[in-house]
Structure 1
Amino acid sequence: MSRAQLPLALKPPRRPRFDNFIAGPNQAVVATLSQGLEPGDWTFLAGPPGTGRTHLLAAFFADRCRRGERAHYIALGKPEQRMLLEHADGDWVVIDDVDRLAGDEAGELALFNALNRWRAERTGVLMSGAGRDGFELPDLRSRLGQATRLTLRPLEEAELADLVRSLAAEHEVLLGRGVVDYILSRAPRNAGRMAELAVAAAHRALTERRTLSVPLVRDILHDRAG
């Protein structure tokens, strides 16, 4: 392949931080997670899919590690990580998608035992999920109820537009005329899905040395529909 054919080196993956989260109506939640949690606190971050739960948990985890605190991150959307419930300890344990264990007898018991251990060790716990109602083990529901609940609200249209512009700026691509409105009109009203589309379009624009334009986004949507 000739030098002219080589694609531009892409920017590294976006690192979730508190300062690159479009908070919208969730300013108080972000402030609590970034500044308001004390050692030993238990917190449950609730909200529909696509509201940024994973982003905020990753930002919290990175922030605690930067402070020199011992933290473990468990993504329960990945079944192979469930065994980490038996071993994680330290100052903080961060658990994403905890409701993936709801209705799973063995999974619920493993979480209950882990929470009991962390309570005895005074480990801070930050969990996320759509909610806590699906768990069947009464003692586990009681334990989860001891966590302070923070609830994320979906972004409004203006805030979703800010999200698209922010992602384009982070990837240092030029936004073409009308592309933000086009994405808002075509993508699901879900910040996570919209961010996924915007990042894919930014990567393609960088690779092909193009403006992030309406035709480029249309091509991506057509490819996905196919």
Structure 2
Amino acid sequence: MVDEQLPKQISLDVDLPDEQTFDSLVVGDNSLIYQHCGLLVEQSESTELPFLTYISGGAGTGKSHLLVAMSHNAAQQQKSHFYLALDATLPYPHTILDGMENIQLLCIDNIQHIQHSKDWQRALFDLINRIRETQVCKLVVSCDRGPKQLQFELADLVSRLAWGISFSLTPLDNLDACEALNIKAKQRGISISRESLQFLISHAKRDMHSLVAALDELQFQGIQEKRKISIPFIKQVLDL
């Protein structure tokens, strides 16, 4: 349900990746974080839970997947939600944050990209203040580093980001990474053995973004050459 106070120009009908759910997350050593995030959606009205959650982690550790999964859960529970993915181009005006304090779950992905925009920093700073005052919204932000490592022109924003609870995602070990990649392969209809997946994880770039990109390339070349994805084929296509 969308709050009537929300700016009318903002649509909450965001196209989220269907496959990025809690069911397709491989927990690894991140069970505490996932439990917190699940509880945050289920009990978004609770004032006992922190209104701000800060999640850090390197590329491919699952930050975006987690925030999207939370948004899916909020939609299933008919709670107002918004997922905002930032990148280096900052394609949205900072004014998109106006009125967002009235949303029950707000997920802002990759805030490291606002380091060189004082307007965005001020907008986020003001939003956090409004959220703390209204106590309606649960804000979840992700970043590739901890708040103290961010180079904000607006130094006070760092202290605001420390008002909530912080987590750091731990990369998956080889066994869990194999399970995560196996899920990705099944979602794409790719037939590949566990042995081949283990070889790919051991020899290609280790982060999940790179592994999934490699999997997509193997699928494409396999279709083009009408070949099964095997270890020799992986070596050939990825020049390993």
TM-score after normalising by structure 1: 0.81
Cα distance, 1:187–1:93 mapped onto 2, change above 3 Å = same
1:175 deviates by 1.3
Q: Structure 1 counterpart of 2:203, which letter?
A: R
Secondary structure, in 3 states, of the residue corresponding to 1:175?
Answer: coil
Choose which of 16, 24, 27 in structure 2 pairs with 1:23. 27
Choose which of 119, 128, 145 in structure 1 pairs with 2:132. 119
1:58 deviates by 0.5
Deviations 1:14-40 (CA, angstroms, capped at 9, x unpaired):
620011011211122112112345426
Distance 2:98 2:198 in 1: 47
Q: How many residues align?
A: 211
Q: Which residues in structure 2 correspond to 1:147-166 (within 5 Å)?
A: 147-166=164-183
Cα distance, 1:147–1:220 mapped onto 2, change above 3 Å = farther
Identity value in percent: 23
Deviations 1:55-113 (CA, angstroms, capped at 9, x unpaired):
00000011111110111111121511343223534112110001211243222112112
1:216 deviates by 4.2
RMSD of the TM alignment (CA)? 2.5
* Higher helix residue share: 1
Cα distance, 1:188–1:151 mapped onto 2, change above 3 Å = same
1:149 deviates by 0.6
Corresponding residue of 1:168: 185
Unaligned runs of 5+ in 1: 1-12
Choose which of 49, 58, 61 in structure 2 pairs with 1:51. 61
Unaligned runs of 5+ in 2: 1-16, 46-50
Cα distance, 1:217–1:82 mapped onto 2, change above 3 Å = farther
